[in-house]
Amino acid sequence: MNPIEDPERAARLARAILSDVMMYNPEKVRLGIVHDDLFERLDAEIREARDYFAERVLPDVARKTGAFERALVDVLVYRSRHVRSPIW
């Protein structure tokens, strides 16, 4: 498989991967928002997701776009905005 060179494809892949993380770990995501420790609580899952993303996207594209980091916020945090939390 050829590594992804297109920034938009890289962004879509990052969102898809992190959507899977959210889908398979809804309670961990919820508790992470409630207790303001989302990234620590999902550390293993995020590392695995990041590795999967890195295997499929050219390093320069990943670095320049920040697609994975943006998707972390867009998917895990923003989609959890309905969860009551002292952080917002």
State the alpha helices, DSSP H only, in the chain.
7-24, 26-34, 38-41, 43-56, 59-65, 67-71
Instruction: Provide the pLDDT for residue 88.
Output: 79
pTM for the model stands at 0.92
Q: Which of 23, 21, 22 is nearest to 52 (CA)?
A: 21
Kindly report, residue by residue over 44-68, the tens digit of the pLDDT: 999 999 999 999 999 999 999 999 9
Look at residue 1 and tell me whether its pLDDT is greater than 90.
no
> What is the C-alpha end-to-end distance of the chain, expressed in Å?
42
Give the pLDDT confidence score for residue 60 in this predicted structure. 97
Q: Which two tokens stand for residue 12?
A: 């879509």
Q: How does pLDDT run across 5-26, given as a tens digit for each residue? A: 999 999 999 999 999 999 999 9
